[in-house]
Structure formats: C-alpha cells, structure tokens
C-alpha cells in the first residue's frame, strides 16, 4: 500500500469546495487500494484552534517527504506548488491526473 499525498488548492477559491475536492480525491486513492494523505483535513484542526499559516505549511511539507507519490489536483495554489517542489527535491513522483496516478501506483 502506497502513501499518496494530495496537493491541491485551499486558500484560493472557495475553501469548502476545495476541501470537498480533496476528500473526493482521497476516496479515489482508497478505491485504488492505497492510503491517502489529505492535508486539507487540517482545515478542521484549524477550525478547532487556529494556527499561523506557516505552521500548516511546515507540517504539510513534513508529510510530503514521507509519501510515495504526490497527486497534484488542478487549480492555482502557492502551497501546493511548494509541496510539489518538495516532492521533486526528494525524488518523489508527482501525478497530475488520475491516469498518471494509476500508472505510478502500479510501478
């Protein structure tokens, strides 16, 4: 079972829709038999106790470095771009669509 980090927009656009899209992607990863890492679930931690933006970025980048694959969902996002850059620095493959993801999962 591979760990798949889902990198996607959060602060740009509608936050609720962004969280929903990432949760849908997480279910796709599970349907493919793998383990999603859905950092936008931190949205609920933030609702419980807000923290500075940098705290969340630091935690997200730590999660990226422990994953096997990063799946970059569409949409403008400075945070997701940092996550992709971190993955690339670590040699972690990045998928940009479901076909790419399935290919990487089957390697």
State pLDDT tens for residues 41-90: 988 898 899 999 999 999 999 999 999 999 999 999 999 999 999 999 99
User: Residue 38's closest CA among 12, 3, 11, 65?
Assistant: 3
User: Residue 73's closest CA among 9, 1, 13?
Assistant: 9
Contact criterion met (CB below 8 Å) for 94 and 84: yes
Phi, then psi, of 4 in degrees rounded to 5: -115, 110
Six-digit token string for 46: 């933030």
For domain 3-105, give the CATH number. Answer: 3.40.50.10400
Contact criterion met (CB below 8 Å) for 35 and 1: yes
* Predicted local distance difference test score (pLDDT) of residue 107: 86
User: Which residues make beta-bridge pairs with 72?
Assistant: 7
Q: How do residues 28-45 score in pLDDT, each as one tens digit?
A: 999 999 999 999 998 889
């Amino acid at each position: 079972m591979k760990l798949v980090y889902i990198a996607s927009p959060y602060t740009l656009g509608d936050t609720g829709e962004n969280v929903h899209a990432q949760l849908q992607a997480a279910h796709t990863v599970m349907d493919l038999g793998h383990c999603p890492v859905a950092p936008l679930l931190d949205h609920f931690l933030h609702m419980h106790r807000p923290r500075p933006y940098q705290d969340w970025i630091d935690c997200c980048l730590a999660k990226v470095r422990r994953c096997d694959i990063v799946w970059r969902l569409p949409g403008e996002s400075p945070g997701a771009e940092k996550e992709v850059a971190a993955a690339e620095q670590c040699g972690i493959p990045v998928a940009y669509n479901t076909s790419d993801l399935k290919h990487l999962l089957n390697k």
